[in-house]
Structure formats: structure tokens, C-alpha cells
Structure 1
């Protein structure tokens, strides 16, 4: 039985001066793909080693410089995948691979074993910190949870001294989004103090929205509060890992960056547990559409998505922002007329900013054709019909015929239902002018 009264509002954050709300993005954050770990564990049929290799190569082609590749202490497949990447020289020199490990000595040592020979790695240590996990799952006190985290830090520092390559340390209070803010700070500061990062060798503090339970503005408040209160802040990179349980992961990530984060972990198309992780494709295009270098090769997006969806079986929704099949398509007559007029003006000017109505970016930037931006059915108008003939057949329909042609096309569509092809429209027009 539906009973909304058993849920309580998420606790807000008190900030003396909320700064993120007055900021504007000027550069994209560092992107970290967790597709091969976080995304892979959410597949009904997880990837095998060869599939993961193919996916890894697609991520490299798209421009990722940080990739979390595995949880190598969890299974032999994950361990063997790490070894294959390293032993076969598949990791470019400018790419850092990372793994996830719990704060358990045998898991940490197994993870270092998996990564021997890599030039630069991220050792991502995590342990749950929320009260419901402390008390229900682990049955440990706040002090005991901090001790658990510090045991992991000590082990990683010890193993790092034996490791030939560079080790970047990352820590996540895994259930940050459900952790009391003061306690999240206490745990994080204890880890920072124990690891002793420096400005030249910083550590990463990852603050996940592991379960998205608050609005994006509150998440941003939490990030700003942590950024202002952590110790040795000049030696700490703030990272976020937003999930999408409320459907707001993209907004949460963008606001978190304004609030002090400079690194975002997520996946292609938002694949991940439950409602998924933040979608890095949408995020990158959001920056791109604001005139900011997205730091990913977005012009390759269709080819990259074709590769990864063939591997995972995850489909691109038709209405997915920027990359869905229908995202640049208009059937509505008013929308079509605005697009047609906007394109006419855009073509008359050279070097002007993109300002075509209803098209957030230029479809040609990712290899989409203008002729596909307008499709015709019973909802279409004269501007759309004329646009199709101009774009595909270079025919300028006289103004006095546009309304008559549109009425005929609409009548046919209404009678039989469905879409009218460009060839049919051409046939109707040619019959009309005979």
C-alpha cells in the first residue's frame, strides 16, 4: 500500500556563503570511465576478457585518460583482464588504469599483484560509512569504521613502496550520500592525515552519490561543504561518482563541479547498478554545447557507441540526449518551420555562433545529416515539406505551392497513418506541377 509518510526529507546543508550557485563552468572536469567495473557488474551477462579488451580500446579511441578497469580481487576473470592489458602492452602511456578494492588486506595485495608492470595506476580504496550500513551490515561503531579505513591506507602505502610504477591513491567513503556530513568529514580527514598527500603527489577524495537520494543542489552543497572543510586541501583532488536513482545524475555532476569537484566518474550511456551511473556522453556534450572543450572525441560518438552497444547489448534510446536516433528530428510543423528558417539564416552568415531553433548543437558535428532533422507525417507543416525537398533534392518549392503541397501530404498521412518518405513527397510535388 502506498504510504509516502514513511519517507523523510533529505537533510539540507548550512553554508555561510554558498558559492557554487554564482559560478559558471569554464572547463570540463577530468573524466573517469567506470564502464569496465561499475558498468560491467550491472550487465545481465558480464563481459568476458576479449569483450572487455574491445571495450577498453573503444574508450581509448573516445579519448578517456583514466579508466577504472576492474575489481581484480573479486574474480579470476577480472584479475586476468588486468594482466592481459599490461602484458600485451595495451595501455597507452598517457592513460591511467584504476581498480577498486575494499579495505581488506588480502584484496589490496591481490589488486597490486594484478597491476604489476603497469606504469601508472589508481588504487581506489573504499568502505561504507553510512549509519544504516555501519549498524546493520557491518555492526561497527564510527571509530571502528575509521580504523577499518586506516588499515586499508596503511596496507596500500606499504604495497606502494614495492610497486615499480606510479601509484595514485583514491579513497571513497562509499555511502557518502547517506553519511552524516560531519562524520564523512571525520573519516576523510583521518584518511588524508594517514596518507599524507602533497601538492606534487595529491590523493583523490571521491564523494559518491552511491544512492542518489537528494536534489542536485543539496549534493552540490555537500561537495562545497566538504571542499571547504577537508584538511590539506591543496593536496586533495575532489572527485564525484553520481548515480541516477532520482534521474538527476547529470545535473548533480555539473553542480558538483561548480562546487569544487574537478573529476567525475561515470559510464557511457549511464550504464550501472539500479538506475545507472551518471552518463558521461550527455555530460561531455553539455559542456561542448556551451563552447567548452569536452576533452573527449565527441565527433566519433556514433562509431564508439556502435562498438560498445554491440558488446554489451545496451541500446541507445531514441530520445537519448545528443545521440538518440530521433534527437535532431522534428515532426511538428511549428518546429520544422523554425528549423528551416534558422538554417537559412545560419547558411547566410559565416563564422557565426550556432543559434538554430530546436537544435542544441550542429548535427553535422557528429556526422548527422541535416536532411534527417525534419521528417514528415500528419503533424508536419509547409515549411517542413519544403525543407525536405530542398535538402534532399535541391528543389525550391515556390511559396504559392507550399501550402497546397503540405495539405496534400498531410491528407495522405492522415488517411493511411505513419510517416511520408522523401521520395513520396517528391512524387506528389512532381505530379502537382505537371
Structure 2
């Protein structure tokens, strides 16, 4: 099977920065943009230029330093937005304007107080204007996840005819189930005239915890760009997690997909984003959480120590982690205890481990986790008996 590339569009610096408390200064944004380029991200959404002078400067600066990735600026379907974004992107080697408007009846009625016909007119005008400035224009149909399918197809067909090179189908509220989102993408693939002239993009939010699943379902249905953020940061419950998408594709070659992401850089960048944006990563976060490669259950530990693949589908080194961790708790077994003692230089017999295990459980019942210092004390107690 020939591999098909999935383009990775990172919006950590735009959607990720919308998290309360995660505001970045220009220097921080530029540093992260360079690291995203090193990671292998194809498109970096650098900001929303018209939103503030600081955002304009960030997009302008990132456009200057990024040499390989596409640099993208977000706009509304508003003339001034597009003109300001074009100015901010002037120095970019590969500039992209990302413009769009609401597509669901909910947004059309309550947000814009207009008609479907007017939405199409405004969308087409925005794309045409953006194409006057850059050859690469992405159109987002906001709240596409809840949009009427026939109207959505009409809107997407109209913007492609107007010159859109990428069409973004956002599940803005994180509403869709994976099969529903896939069906939406499939419908567009099969019913939009000229769809072969544009890349379909997935931009999924995580309100129901389905952002990664929806994005992958969209790709399988025909999308070839996935919009995501490091650590899944983003508005409300966050966006599709870049590290989850990258590793899911890497671990499932049967999809026929590939990305340009250097997975060995994922953990370091995750930590840098967490520190810079002052947003801790939950310990059980997939791929980059502190517990992603930790084993505390005796049954799991025993299997892992015999053969790592019994309980790990990812080698920690694939994402830049050092080694898996055997964490000793009251649920741990003798094999894990013996393993940890050997790590400390104690090679006890089976009978000695049995004797130590009873004492170990007393310590483990009193503490959440047994430390190396606790093990040292246990080892000494055995030697002095």
C-alpha cells in the first residue's frame, strides 16, 4: 500500500493560547514555533493578527524565522481581518490565510442573524480577497459538526470554486461521534464538485473526549490534514492532541498514512509547552503523561518484566522518554520487588524476596508509593537479622 501523507497543522500558538492563563509573549511564541518546525509540523498557525498588536507582531516575527513550515494567520470573513493578516504574513516563505464563517443553522441564526445565502456570499468574498494576497487559502466552516450536510456541501463547493486550497470542517463544539464525523467527511468527498482540488482538514474539539478519534475517523474518510495542539491544549476541553494523532498513525501502518513528525521530540516539546504556557500535563495523559510508561499493578509488572510488549504498545524511546517505570505500591508483586532490588544492587534469593515481601507490604500499606530509600532500609534490615 502506498503511503499517503497526513499534513499536521499545529494551532498551539493560536487555539492553544486561548486557554485561560496560557498567554504567550512574542519571544515565547517564536521559540515554540521554531521547536514545532523542528518537530516536523507542516503548518504552524501563528496567531490571529487583527486581535491585538501583540498577535500581529508574533505572526510577523514567526513569518520571518520559519523557513520550511507554512505559517498561517487566522481571520474572520472580514475584509480588514484579511488585509491585516496578509500584512503580518508578508515575510513568510509559505504564507497561508485561514479565513471562515459559521456554517451551522445555530451560528447563522444566533451569531450572525442572517441567511444561508448570505453566509455563502460572505465566504466566497473572503476567499477571493485572501487569494489576492496569498496562493494558499484555507477556509473554515465553523461548527460544521452541527451543520446541515447539504448546505455544508454547497458552502464548501462555493469556496473551492472561489480558490480555497484547504477546506476545514471543524467540529467546533466537540459534538460528533467518530462515525458521524467520518460520514460528514465522506459526504463531502462524494458530493462536492471540485473537492479533488482542495485538501480536507479536520479540526476537532474535545468536549466529549473524542477529538483524536474524530480526527482519525475523518482522515480515514478522506481528510488529509489534521489540526491539533501539543498536549491537546485549546478552548474549553481542548483540541485534538498532536502527540496522540502522530503516534496513532505511526502505530497503525495499515491505515496507509504517514506524517513528517519526529516522534522522538514529542516528550521534550510537551514539557516545554507545559512549562512555557504554565499548564501542567495530567499524569495519565496519553503518550506524554508522567504515568504513560509506568506500571504499578503486580499482574502488569510481571508481564512487562517478562516481555515489555505485553503491556506497552509504544517503546518509551519512540517519544523521547528514557525508560519505563516499575512503581512499587501495595498492588505490586514479588517479581517487581526483586527487579527494583536488583536495580539498587541487591541480588536476593527467592526465599529472601519472600521474607522481604511481607515487610514491603507493611510499608506499602502505609505509603502511596515505596521509594528507593524505603527499599534500602528493607535491604539493610534483612542483612542485619
Under TM normalisation by the shorter chain, which class is it? over 0.9
Q: Is 1:303 the equivalent of 2:271?
A: no
Which residue in 2 is equivalent to 1:255?
217
TM-aligned CA deviation for residue 433 of structure 1:
5.2
Matched, 1:82 2:82: no
1:240 equivalent to 2:195? Answer: no
Change (3 A) 1:388 1:99: same
Q: Which residues of 2 match residues 204-215 of structure 1 at below 5 A?
A: 204-215=166-177
Kindly indicate whether the alpha-carbon contact (under 8 Å) linking 1:28 and 1:287 is maintained by their aligned counterparts in 2: no
User: In the alignment, does 2:313 pair up with 1:339?
Assistant: no
TM-score with structure 2 setting the length: 0.92
The answer to whether structure 1 residue 178 and structure 2 residue 178 are counterparts is no
SS in 2 for 1:284: helix
Separation in structure 2 between the aligned mates of residue 323 and residue 314 of structure 1, nearest angstrom: 13
Q: Distance in 2 between matches of 1:219 and 1:387?
A: 46
Aligned to 2:371: 421
Matched residue, 2:31? 54
Aligned residues: CA RMSD: 2.1
Measured in 2, the distance between the counterparts of 1:194 and 1:393 equals: 67
Task: Determine whether 1:168 maps to 2:168.
Answer: no
Equivalent in 340, 345, 354 of residue 403 of structure 1: 354
1:18 matched to which residue of 2? none
Q: Once the 2 structures are TM-superposed, how far is the Cα of residue 394 of structure 1 from its aligned partner? A: 5.1
Q: 1:368 to 1:186 in 2, by over 3 A?
A: closer
Q: 2:310 aligns with which of 343, 357, 361?
A: 357
Q: Does 1:412 align with 2:363?
A: yes
Give the Cα separation in 1 of the matches to 2:5 and 2:362.
49
Taking the aligned partners of 1:398 and 1:255, their CA distance within structure 2 comes to 52
User: How much has 1:320 moved relative to structure 2?
Assistant: 0.6
Moved more, 60-69 or 184-193: 60-69
Shift of 1:404: 2.6
Unpaired stretches in structure 2, ≥5 consecutive residues:
none
Q: 4+ residue runs of structure 1 moved beyond 4 angstroms? A: 24-28, 291-294
Alpha-carbon distance, 1:26 to partner:
5.8
Q: Does residue 224 of structure 1 match 2:186?
A: yes
Evaluate the alpha carbon distance shift between residue 158 and residue 324 of structure 1 in structure 2; reply closer, same or farther with a 3 A threshold.
Answer: closer
Per the alignment, residue 387 of structure 1 pairs with: 339
Cα distance between partner residues in 1 of 2:325 and 2:252: 21
1:25–1:217 CA distance, 2 compared to 1 (3 A): farther
The answer for unaligned runs of 5 or more in structure 1 is 1-23, 161-166, 198-202, 344-355
Within 5 Å, which residues of 2 pair with 1:254-333? Answer: 254-290=216-252, 294-333=259-298
> Kindly tell me: are residues 25 and 336 of structure 1, through their superposed partners in 2, closer, same or farther at Cα, counting changes over 3 Å?
farther
Write the distance in 1 (CA, Å) between the matches of 2:29 and 2:295.
Answer: 37
State the TM-score, normalized to the length of structure 1: 0.82
Q: Does residue 1:373 correspond to 2:325, yes or no?
A: yes
Aligned partner of 1:145 among 119, 138, 159: 119
Q: CA deviation at 1:157?
A: 2.8
Q: Quick check: 1:103–1:152 contact (8 Å CA) kept in 2?
A: yes
Partners of 1:30 and 1:327 lie apart in 2 by 26
CA distance in 2, matches of 1:99, 1:266: 15
2:10 corresponds to which residue? 33
Aligned counterparts of 2:170 and 2:275: Cα–Cα separation in 1: 29
Partner of 2:18, secondary structure, is: helix
